Amino acid sequence: MERRTIQLLTRGDAPNWWSELQALDDLGCDWVVGREFNPAATVILINRAEITDVHKEEISFSKAYILVDNGWTGQNLRRAINTLKGALFMDIADGTAELSKVVRVALSRQTEKERNNSLMQAMRGQNRQIEELNRGLEQVVIERTTNEVDSRKASQKNISRVREIIGFIKDLAQLLDVADLLPLIRRQLKEHHGLESPLLFIPRGEAYGDMYYLRGSQTISTRVRGEWVVSPRIRVNESEDSQFLANAMGRPFAKVIRFPLITVRHQKDVSRSPLLMFEHNLVTKDLDPIVASLSEKLQPVSWALDRLVLEQELKSTSREWEMTFDELAEPIAILDHDGRVLRANSHWRDEYRAVLQSQEKHLKVAERLYTVEKYPIRMSLEDPPLSWVVYLRDETRSQKLKSQVVQVEKMSAIGQLAGHIAHELNNPLTGIRSLTQVLLTETDPEGQVNKDLTEVEKASARCQSIITNLLDFSKGGIGQKAQVLDLNEITRKTLPFLKSATGKFRSDIQLSDGELMVKVEPHLMQQVIFNLVNNACQAMKDKGEITVHTHQDKGWAFLEVRDTGPGIVESVRERIFEPFFTTKEEGEGTGLGLSLSRDIARQFGGDLECESSEGQGSLFRVKLPLEILS
């Protein structure tokens, strides 16, 4: 312990008790007297009478104070102690030995206090250290915790990545069409910015294949030709790949990542493996994680695609069969021996099965006429047929053409005949009319003979005009060109030839005012009028009224032939324009009249319609486009 200093604070000289006190106790202390507080002093003795306000200010708790008095009264004790705030009291009257005791107590108290202080200080230091340690520990804990959170995040991320891949694989497994693959891949990659929509190239053969790409949400596939570099590795930013895509898609391509989708099937021949490509504008740094993430998903894509391509090939093979046979406009089917359909094209109807058992060479269904052809399929020549290929050859068209040719030939023969007849009649008629004209000049203009001759002249003139009309229409016959003619005029010239048919009926002919110019072949148009008027007459049997009207409306010329016959029931009306459909007696009608008439009307850009119901008579309406004459 350091050497202590005991000070007597006094303005006067040291009193006797001071020296006695020093002499009495060897405390190993320095005894000093002074007027001012000595900072080095541990114990300070102050004479009570000398305590001033200044002293009071300077009294410090780090020191021990002894209040000195002489002849102290208990009354003053409290005041003194209050003044020095817990100091010891020493009464010189108590004697030196007693004084010494007080000094000792002060010293030991002070020493204790000091020890406590230093202890406190030490404790404070230790506290600081502990605090620091704590802080360090806390840091460690925070760091550790952060690491743990991070690693939990990382593992969650891992789990979600795996989940995502599993989900992706599930989606892939549910794909039904190659076309759905690209939207799925795009959805998977939407987090990768800078990566364009995927393109999928599936090689189909030497230097060609199918390119699938997205337009909006739709997958477009197009057959492309070109050379591509074959490689089993992922290729990044190869100009050849950009070039290939540019050629295939017809637009420039920037940088391209290319993934080969290799499966077992392609391992031997990588050149047939599909290629998944992305256009991108990423820098190398960003590219690596994307390539890594993509590679991870490629294997399932390869598998899914392989499955889809296989399915597609399978489907296309059977579709090819169907399409090939659907292309045939005629029904064809493979039937087993009991007539069950094993396979059939789209034109086959179930009711056709009956032909297998039937001996009929022809099948007439609805509007079509078929020739039945049956080919047995046997394992060997000796075996009975396992199944049959049944082919129904459509004769409708050829029959119709044949009938049309017959009709045209008939018309042409009639035309020629009419020409000859007209010529044969024209000569005597010329004579009759001319001679009548001569005779008219030789008779009395007022006489009866003259009047009679005038009638002869008029009648021969009428004959002449009928013959001229007949010649007009018979002229040419086949191969007559369509000409712009007045439908009213054609009708007017045709009706006289129908007198024998219309004779027994009332007839109402109302042709429109003015011309109805239409572009037709006159003899064909005449045939249409013939057919319609003839049909109308036949429908009415014995009595009735036939009406022939023409009119125009909105650029169309109309010719309507109406009868007051029994009308046509709906089931028949649906079929009247079918070739070979007839309700007439065998040999009376060919079933071609209306069918041909409609064909003719349509040939000239028009149509033939029918309005009829049972008991209401029938109306057939020909419409033809009006020619605008310049």
Partner 1 sequence: MKVLVIDDEPLVRLSLKRALHKSGHQIEEAEDGQSGLEKWQSFKPDLVFLDVLMPRLSGPDLLRALTKADRAHAKVILMSAFTGEYDLERAQSLGAHLFIPKPFEDIFAVVKTGEELASV
Residues sharing a CB contact under 8 Å with residue 613, sequence separation 6 or more, in sequence order: 567, 568, 570
Q: What is the CA radius of gyration of the chain?
A: 64
In the complex, least distance from residue 419 CB atom to partner 1, rounded to whole angstroms: 8
d(CA 296, CA 277): 15
Q: Which is nearer to partner 1, 236 or 463 (CB)?
A: 463
Report how far apart, in Å, the C-alpha atoms of 504 and of each of 231, 373, 498, 507, 545 are.
92, 49, 11, 9, 9
Contact residue for partner 1 among 45, 262, 369, 422 (CB under 8 A):
422
> Which parts of 338-357 interact with partner 1 (CB under 8 A)?
none
Q: In what order do the strands lie in the sheet with 88-91?
A: 29-34, 4-9, 43-47, 64-69, 88-91
Contact residue for partner 1 among 70, 111, 247, 426 (CB under 8 A):
426
Dihedral (C-alpha) 83, 87, 91, 95: value to the nearest 10 degrees?
-170
In the complex, least distance from residue 504 CB atom to partner 1, rounded to whole angstroms: 32
Q: How many residues bind partner 1 (CB under 8 A)?
A: 21
Nearest to 200 by CA among 168, 173, 228: 228
Contact residue for partner 1 among 237, 407, 450, 464 (CB under 8 A):
464
Q: Which is nearer to partner 1, 390 or 467 (CB)?
A: 467
Contact residue for partner 1 among 427, 448, 500, 571 (CB under 8 A):
427
| Residue 416 interacts with partner 1 (CB under 8 A): yes or no | no
Nearest to 6 by CA among 41, 51, 53, 54: 41
Q: Which is nearer to partner 1, 252 or 431 (CB)?
A: 431
Q: Binding pattern to partner 1, positions 472-511, x when CB under 8 A?
A: ---x------------------------------------
Q: Which is nearer to partner 1, 523 or 598 (CB)?
A: 523
Q: Which is nearer to partner 1, 27 or 471 (CB)?
A: 471
Contact residue for partner 1 among 4, 48, 353, 433 (CB under 8 A):
433
Q: Which stretch binds partner 1 (CB under 8 A): 6-14, 310-318, 327-335, 416-424?
A: 416-424
User: For residues 206 and 230, is the Cβ–Cβ distance under 8 A?
Assistant: no
User: For residues 38 and 32, is the Cβ–Cβ distance under 8 A?
Assistant: yes
Q: Binding pattern to partner 1, positions 435-454, x when CB under 8 A?
A: x-xxx-x-------------
Q: Which is nearer to partner 1, 129 or 430 (CB)?
A: 430
In the complex, least distance from residue 515 CB atom to partner 1, rounded to whole angstroms: 24
Contact residue for partner 1 among 15, 419, 589, 591 (CB under 8 A):
419
Any idea how long the chain is?
630
Q: Which stretch binds partner 1 (CB under 8 A): 306-314, 427-435, 493-501, 506-514?
A: 427-435
Nearest to 305 by CA among 268, 265, 333: 265
CB atoms within 10 A of CB 17: 20
C-alpha 536, offset from chain centre:
57
Q: Which is nearer to partner 1, 74 or 445 (CB)?
A: 445
C-alpha 337, offset from chain centre:
46
Q: Which is nearer to partner 1, 105 or 463 (CB)?
A: 463
Contact residue for partner 1 among 428, 447, 605, 625 (CB under 8 A):
428
C-alpha 116, offset from chain centre:
88
> Which parts of 21-60 interact with partner 1 (CB under 8 A)?
none
Q: Inter-axis angle of helices 522-540 and 448-474, to 10 degrees?
A: 110
Q: Which is nearer to partner 1, 344 or 485 (CB)?
A: 485
Report how far apart, in Å, the C-alpha atoms of 216 and of each of 171, 249, 331, 477 are.
20, 16, 41, 61
In the complex, least distance from residue 549 CB atom to partner 1, rounded to whole angstroms: 33
Q: Where are the beta strands (DSSP E) in 248-325?
A: 255-260, 275-280
User: For residues 210 and 216, is the Cβ–Cβ distance under 8 A?
Assistant: no
d(CA 529, CA 522): 11
Q: Which stretch binds partner 1 (CB under 8 A): 405-413, 429-437, 530-538, 557-565?
A: 429-437
Q: Which stretch binds partner 1 (CB under 8 A): 19-27, 410-418, 419-427, 542-550?
A: 419-427
In the complex, least distance from residue 471 CB atom to partner 1, rounded to whole angstroms: 7
Q: Which one-letter DSSP state was computed for residue 48? A: G
Q: Which is nearer to partner 1, 221 or 426 (CB)?
A: 426
Task: Report the interface residues with partner 1, using CB under 8 A.
Answer: 419, 422-423, 426-435, 437-439, 441, 464, 467, 471, 475
